[in-house]
């Protein structure tokens, strides 16, 4: 797989050494056990896979190269490049300006742009409507488009089943940049509807079976269906794709549920007449990171720490997996670790930071599981490890631990 040049400030000597050693020992990626960092009184268990993925590194490389190659030009980002506050702040410090916030709210009007300006398309992609609007202003989007290839794979899958007259059901968060982009690309080819979870999926199924009157669909799924959608007609043939960062198990459960609904409703027909075989459309990194967390959770531990941006979908799902088994702390950086006693962490259910005291147990060794999202720099993970181990009288320094993996 292609390697990318990303700023050295995002790299970590320790994490780089660990990842290199694990890759050499497990080229086929079949071993999902965590890596033990034994510091004596504190044991850190690092997930087998975590951190920057292919799409993120590609986006970061394009963005910083664009800044370097275009001195004096105005450079804009359509919205956040990725869901990591450090990376976005670094781009802004290099003169890059955001046009929209993460929810699509305009910060700078498109009318203020000129054909001489550069607009970077973020890794999530964007809608066809916005691409056209930029192109109509004389701003080309192809050269500075950092859309993740795995997001484009979903768009291609949607187009393929649309050509066979299937309606597209998208499992995703309706307000997420990627889902908005995927919806736009799907809706141009076929009737499309977004379901955010199994609860909404079951309600959609009631329109398929006829348990609910079609008229109620428009209020219940307001803002989540394509123009001209007719539930009584457009839900007879469906295929499921997803936002690439959703929980794989959730998407699979939704697809399986809808398939069973179709089998029961159209018992005399071949299932292929009503349900498209789309296979899973999560990206490899999402799959690897989620599987690595499940492997990590087989280790007995006291707590888990997940590092990443608070608005990162893939990171929140890693938190979800961890918190089902043990106390889990979702933090954006080492600065959130206030002391050996207190930690400031994010409750993504309540959408707020909360302060927890006595998060570290008083026995030794303390066993901590650590992972991070696909948009989180390894340097942040090393910073978290460094902050945690400094509270203990360890028998190895971070440098000595790094040397042990070289």
Residue 4 CB neighbour total at 10 angstroms: 15
Task: Show Cβ contacts of residue 26 under 8 Å, excluding neighbours closer than 6 positions.
Answer: 48
Q: Is 267 exposed, middle or buried (0-12, 13-18, 19+ CB in 10 A)?
A: exposed
CA–CA gap between residue 336 and residue 354 (Å, rounded): 10
Q: Which position has the token pair 């030794």?
A: 364
CA–CA gap between residue 82 and residue 102 (Å, rounded): 10
Q: What is the DSSP string of 258-285?
A: HHHHHHHHTTTS-GGGTB--------HH
Give, in order, the Cα–Cα distances in Å from 369 to each of 14, 105, 150, 347, 385. Answer: 16, 37, 28, 18, 10
Is 159 among the residues known to form the active site?
Answer: no
The two structure tokens encoding residue 24: 């050499």
Contact between residue 282 and residue 242 where contact means Cβ atoms under 8 Å apart: yes
- Among 57, 131, 178, 320, the active-site one is 178
Question: Which helix (H) or strand (E) is 134 found in, with range?
Answer: helix 128-136
Spell out a b/e string for 170-191, using b for 16 or more CB atoms within 10 Å of the CB, else e. Answer: bbbbbebbbbbbbbbbbbbbbb
Give the closest residue to 313 by CA, choosing from 155, 157, 154, 179.
179
CA–CA gap between residue 7 and residue 9 (Å, rounded): 5
CA–CA gap between residue 297 and residue 212 (Å, rounded): 41
Distance of CA 229 to the CA centre of its chain: 28
Catalytic residues: 178
């Amino acid at each position: 797989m292609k390697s990318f040049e990303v700023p050295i400030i995002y790299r970590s000597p320790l994490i780089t050494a660990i990842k290199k050693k694990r890759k050499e020992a497990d080229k086929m990626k079949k071993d999902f056990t965590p890596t033990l960092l034994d510091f004596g009184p504190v044991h850190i268990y690092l997930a087998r896979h975590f951190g920057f993925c292919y799409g993120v590194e590609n986006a970061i490389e394009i963005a910083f190269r664009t800044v370097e190659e275009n001195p004096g030009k105005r450079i804009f980002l359509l919205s956040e490049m990725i869901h990591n506050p450090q990376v976005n702040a670094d781009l802004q410090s290099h003169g890059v300006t955001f046009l929209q916030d993460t929810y699509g709210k305009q910060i700078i009007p498109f009318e203020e742009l000129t054909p001489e300006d550069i607009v970077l398309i973020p890794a999530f992609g964007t809608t066809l409507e916005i691409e056209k609007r930029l192109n109509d202003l004389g701003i080309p989007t192809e050269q500075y488009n950092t859309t993740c290839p795995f997001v484009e794979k979903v768009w291609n899958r949607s187009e393929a089943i649309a050509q066979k007259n299937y309606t597209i059901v998208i499992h995703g968060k309706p307000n997420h940049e990627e889902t908005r982009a995927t919806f736009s690309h799907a809706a141009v080819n076929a009737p499309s509807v977004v379901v955010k979870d199994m609860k909404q999926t079951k309600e959609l199924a009631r329109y398929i079976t006829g348990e609910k009157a079609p008229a109620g669909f428009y209020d219940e799924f307001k803002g989540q269906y394509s123009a001209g959608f007719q539930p009584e007609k457009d839900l007879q043939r469906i295929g499921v794709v997803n936002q690439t960062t959703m929980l794989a198990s959730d998407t699979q459960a939704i697809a399986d549920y809808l398939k069973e609904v179709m089998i029961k409703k159209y018992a005399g027909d071949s299932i292929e007449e009503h349900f498209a075989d789309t296979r899973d459309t999560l990206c490899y990194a999402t799959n690897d990171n989620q599987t690595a967390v499940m492997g990590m959770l087989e280790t007995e531990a006291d707590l888990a720490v997940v590092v990443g941006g608070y608005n990162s979908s893939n990171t929140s799902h890693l938190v979800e997996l961890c918190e089902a088994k043990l106390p889990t702390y979702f933090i954006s950086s080492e600065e959130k670790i206030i002391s050996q006693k207190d930690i400031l962490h994010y409750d993504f259910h309540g959408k707020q930071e909360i302060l927890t005291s006595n998060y570290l147990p008083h026995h030794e060794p303390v066993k901590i599981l650590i992972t991070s999202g696909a948009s989180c720099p390894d340097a942040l993970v090393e910073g978290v490890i460094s902050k945690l181990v400094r509270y203990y009288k360890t028998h190895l320094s971070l440098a000595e631990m790094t040397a042990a993996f070289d």
